Structure 1
Amino acid sequence: MTVVDTLALDIKPPPGGQVLHDSDRATVIWGDCRDPQVIAQVPDGYGLLCTDPPYGVRYNSGRSRTFTEIPGDDGAVDWPTVLAEWVGPEGTCTRGLKDARHVYVFGYSEEQLAGPLRLGATADLVWDKTQVGMGRLDIPWGPQHERITMGVHTKRRSGRDRGDGQAAARMRRGTVLRYPRANASSAVRHPNEKPWRLVAELIESSTVRAHRTQDSDLVVDPCAGSGSTGVAAVLSGRRCFLVEVTRSDAELAVERVQAVEHLVKQMEAL
């Protein structure tokens, strides 16, 4: 795993991916999150899995010069099974996500995630985007929300059978999170970019910020897109580990993470 020049124009990442950015606050890898060599690079015992995998809806903005179809969004990838490898293989107690820590997955239900991700207690959250989307135009209701499944990763089957979830959120909040999404005219970086403040609320609720950055929880996002999870993690005083398969998006994530790293360092120097 080596750090490489971000101007390389390869279309597909090589086996094991390539590190585009690596600091004490953030690691950004251009790679395929299904690649075992990429998965092996995430530190064991990390603090939170927070990700927005493709939903299998073949999203296309209709503005071909701006956005193309998102890789993996054709419904052919079993994303819950992919994410299962990120929390750690069945039968292991120290690999991947730390036991009794949280996951947040956008767009998928508890029923889809509980088995593969070995979840005990779960909660169904709703992101209220505060704006009505296009959706189906043949019905009188337009989509204004998105599901987020939160769960407590419980490595032992006996704990899951009991519905263990004693690692309660640090700050108890309501299940509806209201954050405006970028509208069609302002979504110029990524078609499904999440507001970083939304992700920051999830991170703040489920991770620990230590006095020293290197001791704070590590937030992992294997489907990083434009890097909103990384931005939220760094601004919240946590560390992040991001993987993105699309080169241009991975480079954008690097730019955004580096910008907030610079900002945080300036603030710390005051």
Structure 2
Amino acid sequence: MLNQIIHADCMDIFPSVKDQGVDLIVTDIPYGAVTKNGSDRAKYDGQLRKVDKGDADLVTFDLIEFLEQCARVTSGSIYIFCGIEQVSTVFQFFDNHKDFMVRQCAWKKTNPAPSNGQHMWLSSMENCIFAKRRKTKFNQLCKSAVWDYPTGRSKIHPTEKPLELIKYLVQSSTDEGDTVFDPCVGSGTTAVAAKVLGRNYIAIEINAEYATAAINRIEQLELSLF
């Protein structure tokens, strides 16, 4: 399982990961509401462009069960990018967990898409909940919980996060040789970040198309490294 892209449902793989068996989780879970809201926007009579991420935002697991597994398998920190409707649930889960500290963070997009800008403020941030086991490593000092990074323009996955942002998070919460786990890896950005930074990774993706894309990205990276 180590240093592999696994095409599977993460909830089927979690039981194979031992308690506190990974050092860090970085993941971007399906937001669920994005596609639904896109289809509902007909009530605005065409004022807003429809947003439809397809399967990329399809939630396939119970969120609390997912969070319980994340807490169980992680010995260090957890970063979970999530939709606005999920923020409170994720935050409260870790805030109520005696072993974790928690902080609401945000990715600030320095080049937000101009979609619907004639009608409202641009969508220029995404939420991320950071949870950390007490007295575990954190390689930053007095840094902001708002991270400024541009969006990519040649994305493989519709909700792909910028590689430099994910590298920053991996560096902030792990050392070389540690293991980074992404149970919803999409097109493989977390795995690429771990590989480039000398970390091990475990990466799971339920969608066959994105899993294949992630495998291809890792193969191309290995060719470029060697």
| TM-score normalised by L of structure 2 | 0.79
Q: How does 1:148-187 map to 2 (within 5 A)?
A: 148-153=128-133, 165-172=134-141, 173-183=143-153, 186-187=154-155
Map 1:235-250 to 2 at 5 A.
Answer: 235-250=196-211
CA distance in structure 2 between the aligned counterparts of 1:258 and 1:42, rounded to whole angstroms: 24
Contact 1:49 1:97 in 2 (8 A): yes
Equivalent pairs counted in the alignment come to: 206
Partner-residue secondary structure (3-state), 1:260: helix
State the Cα distance separating 1:59 from its structure 2 match: 3.2
What residue number does 2:63 align with? 79
Paired AA for residue 83 in structure 1: L
Change (3 A) 1:253 1:77: same
Q: CA shift at 1:78, angstroms?
A: 3.1
* Residue identity in the other structure for 1:176: V
Return 5+ residue gaps in structure 1 as ranges.
Answer: 1-21, 89-95, 154-164, 210-215
* TM-superposed deviation, 1:178: 1.6
Q: Alpha-carbon deviations, 1:70-114, whole Å to 9, x = none?
A: 25626x7432431322332xxxxxxx112xx10000025663224
Residue by residue over 1:114-158, the C-alpha shift from the partner in whole angstroms, topping out at 9 and shown as x without a partner, is 4545362222222111123366668521110111111113xxxxx
* Alignment RMSD: 2.8
Which protein has greater RCO, CA pairs closer than 8 Å, 6+ apart?
Answer: 2
Contact kept in structure 1, 2:109 and 2:151, CA below 8 Å: yes
One of 85, 89, 100 as aligned partner of 1:120: 100
Q: Pick from 228, 231, 235: which aligns with 2:192?
A: 231
Q: How far apart are the structure 1 equivalents of 2:54 and 2:209? A: 13
Kindly indicate which of the two structures has a greater share of residues assigned to helix: 2
Distance 1:177 1:68 in 2: 23
Tell me how far apart the structure 1 counterparts of residues 211 and 166 of structure 2 sit (CA, whole Å).
18
- C-alpha distance in 2 between matches for 1:166 and 1:110: 24
Q: What CA distance in whole angstroms lies between the structure 1 residues aligned with 2:189 and 2:149? A: 14
- For 1:43 and 1:249, locate their aligned partners in 2 and report how far apart those are by CA, in whole Å: 26
Distance 1:113 1:149 in 2: 7
What is the alpha-carbon distance in structure 1 between the residues aligned to residue 137 and residue 163 of structure 2?
23
Match of 2:25 among 33, 36, 49: 49
**Residues 42 and 241 in structure 1, CA contact (< 8 A), matched pair in contact too:** no
Q: What's the secondary structure of 1:150's corresponding residue?
A: strand
8 Å CA contact 1:127, 1:145 repeated in 2: yes
Map 1:1-270; keep pairs closer than 5 Å. 26-35=3-12, 38-44=13-19, 45-59=21-35, 69-70=54-55, 73=58, 77-88=61-72, 96-98=73-75, 101-107=76-82, 111-117=88-94, 118=97, 120-133=100-113, 139-153=119-133, 165-172=134-141, 173-183=143-153, 186-187=154-155, 189-209=156-176, 216-264=177-225, 266=226
